[in-house]
Amino acid sequence: MTIDVARIRSETPGCSVVAHFNHSSCSLPPLQVTQTITEHLQREALYGPSEMGVAVADDVQATRQAAAQLLNASVEEIALTGSGSQGWGLAFASLPPLREGDRILIGRHEWGGNLSTMHRAAQKAGATVEVVPCRDDGCVSPEALASMLDDRVRLIALTWLPATNGLINPAAEIGRIARSAGVPYFIDAGQALAQVPVDVEAIGCDVLKGAGRKFLRGPRGTALLYVRRAFLKKLETPYLDVLSGPWKNGAPEPRDDARLFETGENSFALQLGLGTAIRYTLAIGVDVIRARINQLARDLRQRLSDIPAVTIHDGGQERSGIVAFTVRGLTPQEVRVSLAAEKINVAAIAAAYTPLDMAARGLTEIVRASVSYFTTEEEIERLVKAIAALAA
Ligand SMILES: Cc1ncc(COP(=O)(O)O)c(C=O)c1O
């Protein structure tokens, strides 16, 4: 199967306005996603938001079903949340309380928000957050992880595709180790959804989250949270609402599915838009998306590395559509602003997104150019030429 790039671009109004290399922050949505959202908002305005919420309950459930298909999960294992961090944070807060001497093992590329959450909880409890050493190529070392395990380890956390580094961590190898040790395993798949195939069964994770707005091309303010069915029983959320834990017969009755992590109040327009985005992705096929992104990112890396003033900062053997680099003599912000003036979108990302990995590599900020399956060779040419001109 191949991708009909021309059709997809004709369905993406933003393609005629910008050369977008910022899919890792937020991608450009297809028309169908925007239409789904605006049509629902119109219905709400005409007939009443509550009434229309009831009317589309099955369609919102279809979003969860599509998400389950995307992740090879069952629909009972899916929650729709407002952001990935919100879902991850709530799942973390629902773990049994940490005690003195407990250990959390993390990859060096952990998302900054998760890192802050774990550190604060560990500090309060007298527990530790320990970083698993990397292999020579900069990926988390499964062998090092295995050698660190003992009966005080309460959690293994991995950011699968880091925000500031094009490497892909060995999530399934780590999953095998976590499973055989019986340690909970959380994955931040913020950059992975719709970039690489995600199979939660093959990976063996207990919790996985990812954003709707990035490679999936869904709306901002949407995210997916997967919680393994058997693992759900071990979690106690710090709060309940009328959806997640309704009051019945004089006591709260928490849900026994992943919607335990949802609340009753939501933007149904956005959740429907997310469903459209997921189905759009599934219709193209994540395997072919992965192959095209890989080829485009490889091409971009190669062409950028031919510019003497450019340094590429991507580790790993297997790599994502994220290309991290710096340009000698220019700050990443200066590069971003100059390219934006030419209607080319890239991101300038500071160390706070992946503090440990950036510090380990002596980086304070990088330019991040990320490709999608509808990026073209012509756009890459334009970006490379613009950077070569800036560098000169
Ligand atoms: C790996 C990773 N995790 C988390 C985030 C933050 O987004 P969210 O809170 O929606 O997951 C990002 C955003 O760039 C990210 O790259």
Closest atom, ligand 1, to C-alpha of 84: 11
Of 268, 300, 293, which is closest to residue 369 (Cα–Cα)? 300
Binding site membership of 163 for ligand 1 (Cβ less than 6 Å): yes
Q: What tens digit of pLDDT does each residue of 13-24 get?
A: 999 999 999 999
Is the domain of 128 the same as that of 164? yes
HEC sequence for 77-119: HEEEECCHHHHHHHHHHCCCCCCCCCEEEECCCCCHHHHHHHH
Is the domain of 343 the same as that of 365? yes
Closest atom, ligand 1, to C-alpha of 83: 10
Closest atom, ligand 1, to C-alpha of 88: 11
Q: How far is CA 57 from CA 52, 73, 264, 268, in A?
A: 9, 20, 12, 9
Domain count across the chain: 2
Of 227, 256, 225, which is closest to residue 240 (Cα–Cα)? 256
69 is written with which tokens? 């298909």
Binding site membership of 159 for ligand 1 (Cβ less than 6 Å): yes
Is the domain of 52 the same as that of 152? yes
Q: Which domain holds residue 86?
A: 33-283
% pLDDT > 90, the chain: 100
**145's torsion region: left (phi>0), alpha (psi -120 to 50) or beta?**
alpha
Question: Does the pLDDT at position 283 exceed 90?
Answer: yes
CA of 159 to the centre of ligand 1 (A): 9
Is the domain of 301 the same as that of 260? no
Q: Whose CA is nearest to atom 16 of ligand 1?
A: 163
Domain-located, residue 26? no
Binding site membership of 222 for ligand 1 (Cβ less than 6 Å): no
Binding site membership of 190 for ligand 1 (Cβ less than 6 Å): yes
Which of 253, 283, 313 terminates a domain? The answer is 283
Check residue 96 and give its pLDDT. Answer: 98
Beta bridge partners of 348: 367
Domain-located, residue 348? yes
Q: Whose CA is nearest to atom 7 of ligand 1?
A: 84
Which of 233, 248, 283 terminates a domain? The answer is 283
**Domain at 207, CATH number:** 3.40.640.10
Binding site membership of 85 for ligand 1 (Cβ less than 6 Å): yes
CA of 112 to the centre of ligand 1 (A): 9
Is the domain of 186 the same as that of 317? no
Binding site membership of 83 for ligand 1 (Cβ less than 6 Å): yes
Radius of gyration for the alpha carbons in the chain, expressed in angstroms and rounded: 21
**Domain at 367, CATH number:** 3.90.1150.10
% pLDDT > 70, the chain: 100
Closest atom, ligand 1, to C-alpha of 211: 10
Question: Does the pLDDT at position 132 exceed 90?
Answer: yes
Neighbours of 135 (CB within 10 A): 16
Q: What tens digit of pLDDT does each residue of 290-343 get?
A: 999 999 999 999 999 999 999 999 999 999 999 999 999 999 999 999 999 999
| CA quadruple 163, 167, 168, 170: dihedral, nearest 10 | -120
Is the domain of 103 the same as that of 249? yes
Is the domain of 232 the same as that of 378? no
Q: What tens digit of pLDDT does each residue of 144-182 get?
A: 999 999 999 999 999 999 999 999 999 999 999 999 999
Which of 228, 255, 283 terminates a domain? The answer is 283
**Residues 333-364: b if buried by 16+ CB within 10 A, e if exposed:** eebbebbeeeebbbbbbbbebbbbbbeebebe
Is the domain of 137 the same as that of 254? yes
Distance from chain centroid for Cα 251: 36
Binding site membership of 117 for ligand 1 (Cβ less than 6 Å): no
Domain-located, residue 135? yes
Domain-located, residue 28? no
Domain-located, residue 39? yes
Binding site membership of 324 for ligand 1 (Cβ less than 6 Å): no
Binding site membership of 84 for ligand 1 (Cβ less than 6 Å): yes
Q: Whose CA is nearest to atom 12 of ligand 1?
A: 190
Question: Does the pLDDT at position 1 exceed 90?
Answer: no
- Average pLDDT score over the chain: 98
Binding site membership of 188 for ligand 1 (Cβ less than 6 Å): yes
Q: What tens digit of pLDDT does each residue of 73-127 get?
A: 999 999 999 999 999 999 999 999 999 999 999 999 999 999 999 999 999 999 9
Neighbours of 23 (CB within 10 A): 29
Is the domain of 289 the same as that of 279? no
Binding site membership of 354 for ligand 1 (Cβ less than 6 Å): no
Is the domain of 275 the same as that of 294? no
Is the domain of 277 the same as that of 292? no
Domain-located, residue 105? yes
Is the domain of 273 the same as that of 303? no
Domain-located, residue 27? no
Binding site membership of 168 for ligand 1 (Cβ less than 6 Å): no
Domain-located, residue 256? yes
Q: Whose CA is nearest to atom 11 of ligand 1?
A: 84
Binding site membership of 223 for ligand 1 (Cβ less than 6 Å): yes
